[in-house]
Structure 1
Amino acid sequence: MIDKVAWIHLVGGRILSTRSRGKEVYYLPGGKREPGESDAETLIREIREELDVAIAPESIAAAGVFEAEAHGHAGTLVRMTCYTADYRGTPTASSEIDEIAWLGYEDRDRVSAVDKIIFDHLHETGQLT
Structure 2
Amino acid sequence: MPRMIFVNLAVADLPASMAFWRALGFDFNLDYTDETAACLVFSDTIFAMIMTHDKFRGFAQREPADTKTHREALMALSMDSREDVDRIVEAAIQHGGAAHGEAVDHGFMYYRPFTDLDGHVWELTYFPAQPDAA
TM-score by length of 2: 0.28
Name which structure has the greater RCO, CA cutoff 8 Å, separation 6+: 1
Higher alpha-carbon Rg = 2
